[in-house]
Structure 1
Amino acid sequence: MERLEFRLLGFPEFRLNGRRVELALRKAAALLIYLAEAGGPVAREVAATLLWPETDEEAARARLRRTLHKIRVAFGTEVIAAAGASLSLHPALAVELDSKVFEHACNVGPLDEASDIYRGDYLGGFSLPDCPEFDEWVFFRREALRSRLVQALERTIEAKIAGGEPRSAVVHATRLAALDPLSESAHRHLIRAHLAAGDRAAAERQIESCVRLLRDELGVGPDPATLALVREPTQDVTLDVPRTRYVEVDGIHLAYQTVGSGPTDIGLVPGFISHVERIWEDSRCRAWISAISRMGRLILFDRRGMGLSDRVGVRPTVETTAQDILAVMNAAGSRRALLIGASEGGPGCVRFAIDHPDRLIGLVLWGSLAKGSRASDYPFALTAAQYDLWKQRLIAGWGGPAEIETFAPGLSGDRQAETWWAGLLRAASSPGAVAGLLEALRDTDVRSLLARVSAPTVVLHRSGDRAVRVEAGRLLAAGIPGARFIEVAGNDHWFWVGDQQPLLDSIGALARSS
């Protein structure tokens, strides 16, 4: 069987049976790459429109035929199979893509191998300026793979330090810091690696570099937790970041942490964006975690497809979120827990409450909702079309502090908060991956399940919430038997910003009643 190899991490290269094949025509290369990544048949009209968007249908098809001929000539054999109205790579070929090999190594290990495979950004230096849809597809794919690299490096660094290989951790951490020089988290990984290797001077130089970059590029100072790494931390500077652990469910690895040791287990089910390690970088988040961990043992986790958990190729559902909650509780040794469903995490908590009532102490739903988009009997959400426009705006701003003025208007203009949020977004997901998560939220509807929730429930919502209107919270509470609704003053969607006391009081009351 002939072997066709794609080297797509970096400027693209193609090899047939070990022989490098030159494709002078960029659109020929683009067609091959698109078919290889698709992994199955692609309609001719889709390929033609993608590569010749401004050309009429007949002319585009003619150009597609000429491109197929040039590919055949370059390789000296048929590498693309044309079956009626569709195209695919020839089934007789053994095909290998380094991008797919990289993803496989990220999923199953070894992680060292994954970072070695990543020799450059996806299709680095390759673009088709007259094909905006193709370039957008490349952008999403590039960001997804880059996000996986960051995740692999972070996990490798921690594993190397824990395994007594600090010098190797320094190598990986140096690469991580170079990927995103303005990420304070990346600098902290490198500082910790230097300290683990016994090189305090290098750690202090790295802190100086971090301080200088943040000051010169962003006009902000470092978080006290960064400075505390090389001095004796005071009690109010930071909490020790707990170890991130993993549990496997359906072949997917979920990242989780436990904080505190109280008698009551409290599980936080996050919204559409989360990262169990990056949340510690914000002083407000740390203060909130500290407050909750004094009430009980807090269980933090990233849902599948998000943060440090494995990426998945399918849209998450409320059923899979309920499965994730159960898997993490089992892994943490939790028999029963009080669940806090934040924003989009709420519908998954509702599903869990119905599927596993015996595992639930109570529910606290913050800024949450029962349905993701508007309907005639649910008028206080965006229409599907409006939602898709908002999704496009969020994705367009990815990499920066996207939509912080919606989620936390109280922090808009706060350079340190904006830098943290931008870094968390980049680490937690990618534009292409988060699009699927947002589409799943848009299509969520658990209204028919609310009446079946039997757990004690408190619903809290800020009166001026810009992300999820307060009416959504009222409906949620009205639909759950016996639920209590608390309207909180303010317009910040994030629970750790603004007045947090009503939320802390509600959690404390339910925890004590258990």
Structure 2
Amino acid sequence: MALFSVRTLGFPEIRRDHRLCRLPLRKGLALLVYLAEASGSVGRDVLATMLWPEGSNEVVRARLRRLLHRLQQALGDDILTMDRSAVRWSTAITLQVDSQLFEQACDRGEFERACRQYSGDFLDGFSPGDCPQFDEWAFFRREALRGRVMQALERAVHASNAAGDYAAAAAHAGLLIELDPFSEVYGRHLVRNLLLAGERATAQRHLEALTQRLHDELNVAPGPEIRALLDVGATLHIEDLPSTRYVSSGGIHLAFQTHGAGGIDILLLPGFVSHVERVWEQPQCRAFLSSVAAMGRLLLLDRRGVGLSDRVGFAPDVDATAQDIGTVLDAAGSRRLVLLGASEGGPACIKFAVDHPNRVAGLILFASLAKGTATHDYPHALESSQYDTWLQQLVAGWGGPAGIETFGPSLAGDPQARAWWAGLLRAASSPGAIKAVLMALRDTDVRHLLGRVSVPTLVLHRHDDCAVRIGAGRHLASHIPRARFVELDGADHWPFAGDQQPVLDGIRQFVGSLSG
């Protein structure tokens, strides 16, 4: 049985029994890669339309027939199975696809192996030419795999550091820097592990290089945490930022952090995207989180499928995210807490508060909503068609600071904030995966739960919020028994953007009333 290996990570190539198959046909190579990724039959019409978007149906089907014939001449009659309607790689051969081997290693938690298998970005430098549908498919696949390798590298850094293999941890951190050269979190991982490995001079050089990049591109300097690493020298006992921990639930590993040691726990569940480490990079966000941690013990969580938590093959719904909350609370030893649900994090917090009122001392909803899209009896959200248009725009802008003008208009002109948000998006998810998450959020509806909330509730909402209309906040407050509504000035959707002091004052007063 012939062995065919399809390389997709880097510039694509096909090998038969380890010997390179020379294919001068770029569209033929594109077709073979697409079939390999599909892992099954693909309709002839789909292939013809993808490779020849212009032309009549008869013409493009004839071109496809000729291309398939030439591929069989070049590689052998046994490589493809075809009928009148579909084409696939033959089951009479053994087919190995490097991108699939990489993902399988990630799924098994073999992150070191996965990192070794990732030899480059998906179809790097390749395009069949004049095939926008293929190029769009390749873009989404490329971004999904980049997101997975970033997470794999992050997990490998943590594992190597915990095992005392600081040289390996530094090597993985160096690859992260190549993927995102402006990340201070990745820079801190690199410098810290180089120091622990005894490579002080190399650590100094990397810090200088990071400092130069941030100055040249963003006109900012690295934060004090990374500079302090060199000051404390080889002892490195001081760790200013909280460490990331993992807990497993149903085979899914959830990333979370605890920070502070106050009397009451405060779990913050953000909106559709998060990353428990990279949130600390942005100065205003860090100041906000530190202020909340001063009120009690702060718990941060990446829901399944997002950030440093395991990727899953489906979009987590409200029930799954509420389950994640309980799993993290058990791991953190939290018995009674305040839930702080921001934006799309609110519905899951509502669900948990209804199901476990004995564990929830209070509920805070910031810029949140009960339903993802508008209906005749709920006009406080985007219409379904408007939501889909916004989602398309967000996905199209992925890789850059997509949506920052909506989420944080006061920060939209800040180069550092733009670079941070773009990096957080890339590290937290991929455009295809986040599209599935947001489609699930579009269909969210917890209105039937609002009347069952029995814990003290505070609803905070800025009057001119650009992402979630203030009517959504008013609706929450009017339908949750005895909820208190506080309307704030400003247009920022992120609680840390703009004037964060009124937000913190509201949280502090509410938490104080529960502790008193």
TM-score range, shorter chain: over 0.9
Structure 1 equivalent of residue 480 of structure 2: 480
* Residues 1:42 and 2:42 aligned together: yes
Judge conservation of contact 1:239–1:286 (CA < 8 Å) in 2: no
Instruction: Give distance in 2, aligned partners of 1:69 and 1:284.
Output: 60
String of CA shifts for 1:214-255, please: whole Å, max 9, x gaps. 11222223223332322259xxxx972222111222322211
Shift of residue 123, structure 1, vs aligned partner: 0.9
Judge conservation of contact 1:140–1:431 (CA < 8 Å) in 2: yes
Q: Name which of structure 1's ranges 390-399 and 504-513 shifts more when overlaid on structure 2.
A: 504-513
Shift of residue 20, structure 1, vs aligned partner: 3.3
String of CA shifts for 1:418-452, please: whole Å, max 9, x gaps. 22212211211222222212222222222222222
Instruction: Give distance in 1, aligned partners of 2:474 and 2:425.
Output: 29
Aligned length: 510
Instruction: Give distance in 2, aligned partners of 1:15 and 1:102.
Output: 18
Instruction: Give distance in 1, aligned partners of 2:356 and 2:71.
Output: 56
Scaled by the length of structure 2, the TM-score of the pair is 0.93
Instruction: Give distance in 1, aligned partners of 2:158 and 2:35.
Output: 37
Judge conservation of contact 2:370–2:446 (CA < 8 Å) in 1: yes
Instruction: Give distance in 1, aligned partners of 2:428 and 2:466.
Output: 22
Instruction: Give distance in 2, aligned partners of 1:28 and 1:250.
Output: 42
Instruction: Give distance in 1, aligned partners of 2:65 and 2:278.
Output: 49
Instruction: Give distance in 2, aligned partners of 1:479 and 1:49.
Output: 51
Secondary structure class of the residue paired with 2:451: helix
Structure 1 equivalent of residue 500 of structure 2: 500
Judge conservation of contact 2:78–2:93 (CA < 8 Å) in 1: no
Cα 1:82/1:333, change in 2 over 3 Å: farther
Structure 2 equivalent of residue 289 of structure 1: 289
Cα 1:378/1:129, change in 2 over 3 Å: farther
Structure 1 equivalent of residue 404 of structure 2: 404
String of CA shifts for 1:87-141, please: whole Å, max 9, x gaps. 3333344332111111222232332211111111111121123111110111111
String of CA shifts for 1:460-497, please: whole Å, max 9, x gaps. 10001001111111112222222221111111110112
Cα 1:87/1:338, change in 2 over 3 Å: farther
Secondary structure class of the residue paired with 1:289: helix
Judge conservation of contact 2:225–2:240 (CA < 8 Å) in 1: no
Instruction: Give distance in 2, aligned partners of 1:341 and 1:87.
Output: 48
> 1:83-482, aligned counterparts within 5 Å?
85-231=85-231, 240-482=240-482
Instruction: Give distance in 1, aligned partners of 2:434 and 2:208.
Output: 34
Secondary structure class of the residue paired with 1:364: strand
Judge conservation of contact 1:221–1:416 (CA < 8 Å) in 2: no
Judge conservation of contact 1:239–1:290 (CA < 8 Å) in 2: no
Secondary structure class of the residue paired with 1:6: strand
Instruction: Give distance in 2, aligned partners of 1:243 and 1:256.
Output: 9
String of CA shifts for 1:149-202, please: whole Å, max 9, x gaps. 222222222322332222222322222222332333332222112211223232
Cα 1:326/1:92, change in 2 over 3 Å: farther
Shift of residue 45, structure 1, vs aligned partner: 2.1
Structure 1 ranges of 4+ moved more than 4 A: none
Secondary structure class of the residue paired with 2:254: strand
Judge conservation of contact 2:347–2:369 (CA < 8 Å) in 1: yes
Structure 2 equivalent of residue 9 of structure 1: 9
Amino acid at match of 1:86: A
Report the RMSD for the aligned CA atoms in angstroms.
2.2
Amino acid at match of 1:105: A
Instruction: Give distance in 1, aligned partners of 2:108 and 2:221.
Output: 38
String of CA shifts for 1:273-321, please: whole Å, max 9, x gaps. 1100001112222222222222222111111111111222222211111
Shift of residue 74, structure 1, vs aligned partner: 2.6
Instruction: Give distance in 2, aligned partners of 1:382 and 1:112.
Output: 43
Shift of residue 367, structure 1, vs aligned partner: 0.5
Shift of residue 77, structure 1, vs aligned partner: 3.2
Instruction: Give distance in 1, aligned partners of 2:397 and 2:463.
Output: 26
Q: Percent identity?
A: 56
String of CA shifts for 1:365-407, please: whole Å, max 9, x gaps. 1111112222222223222222222222222322222221211
Amino acid at match of 2:174: T
Judge conservation of contact 2:367–2:461 (CA < 8 Å) in 1: yes
Judge conservation of contact 1:190–1:203 (CA < 8 Å) in 2: yes
Judge conservation of contact 1:338–1:510 (CA < 8 Å) in 2: no
Instruction: Give distance in 1, aligned partners of 2:326 and 2:55.
Output: 52
Amino acid at match of 1:20: L
Judge conservation of contact 2:78–2:92 (CA < 8 Å) in 1: no
Instruction: Give distance in 1, aligned partners of 2:480 and 2:42.
Output: 46
Q: Name which of structure 1's ranges 468-477 and 101-110 shifts more when overlaid on structure 2.
A: 101-110
Instruction: Give distance in 1, aligned partners of 2:109 and 2:69.
Output: 39
Shift of residue 10, structure 1, vs aligned partner: 0.9
**Consecutive unaligned residues in structure 2, runs of 5 or more:** none
Amino acid at match of 2:145: L
Amino acid at match of 1:25: L
Amino acid at match of 1:62: A
Judge conservation of contact 2:10–2:121 (CA < 8 Å) in 1: yes
Cα 1:481/1:47, change in 2 over 3 Å: farther
Cα 1:5/1:359, change in 2 over 3 Å: farther
